[in-house]
């Protein structure tokens, strides 16, 4: 039996309740909320510890961080890099780890015009990403913490 037309608005009116009841606010279940304090994020994402070795692989991997598209990094053997962003050598002597964390998570909180991708931006704020990133962050929380652990070694 087809759905009576008069029922459709009734069902639509209940939609927000169905969404609330399923406990979803549009964020992926594994998205860890973070808190911005001044110009930084003090607590590691999801309380995770980063690994600098893995981080150094992520920053130079074009399928993951791809930081080299815009930044020079002091990694031996790398000749091609972008020059749109500042070189990251010595970044840990300019910025604290919590300050670096906010930049990698979502630099638009510091500069609304920033062209740097927010690697752990709230996915609801991302407009038309590639299919594999719909509803997802560009890097996982663990990958972001790994990248931060690596950047922290660049003194």
Contact positions toward ligand HEC, by CB under 6 A?
Answer: 59, 65-67, 69-71, 84-86, 88, 91, 94, 100, 103-104, 107, 111, 114-117, 119, 147, 151
Shortest distance, position 93 Cβ to ligand HEC, whole Å: 10
Q: Which two tokens stand for residue 73?
A: 């990094």
- Per DSSP, the chain holds a count of helices (H) and strands (E) of 5, 0
DSSP calls for 91-150: HHHHS-HHHHHHHHHHGGGT-TT--S--TT--GGG--S--GGGTTS-SS-HHHHHHHHHH
Nearest CB to ligand HEC, comparing residues 23 and 63: 63
Nearest CB to ligand HEC, comparing residues 31 and 101: 101
Nearest CB to ligand HEC, comparing residues 1 and 91: 91
Shortest distance, position 6 Cβ to ligand HEC, whole Å: 51
Shortest distance, position 65 Cβ to ligand HEC, whole Å: 3
Shortest distance, position 10 Cβ to ligand HEC, whole Å: 47
Nearest CB to ligand HEC, comparing residues 24 and 53: 53
Question: Which DSSP category does 84 fall into?
Answer: S
Q: Which two tokens stand for residue 88?
A: 């990251």
Residue 53: what are its φ and ψ, rounded to 5°? -65, -50
């Amino acid at each position: 039996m087809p759905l009576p037309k008069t029922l459709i608005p009734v069902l639509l009116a209940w939609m927000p309740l169905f969404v609330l009841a399923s406990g979803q606010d549009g964020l992926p279940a594994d998205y860890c909320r973070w808190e911005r304090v001044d110009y930084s994020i003090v607590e590691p994402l999801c309380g995770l510890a980063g690994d600098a070795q893995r981080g150094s692989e992520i920053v130079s991997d074009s399928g993951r961080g791809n930081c080299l598209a815009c930044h020079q990094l002091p990694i031996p053997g790398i000749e091609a890099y972008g020059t749109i962003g500042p070189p990251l050598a010595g970044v840990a002597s300019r910025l604290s780890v919590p300050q670096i964390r906010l930049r990698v998570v979502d630099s638009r909180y510091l500069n609304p015009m920033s062209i740097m991708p927010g690697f752990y931006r709230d996915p609801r704020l991302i407009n038309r990403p590639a299919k594999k990133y719909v509803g997802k962050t560009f890097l996982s929380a663990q990958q972001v913490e790994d990248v931060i652990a690596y950047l922290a070694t660049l003194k």
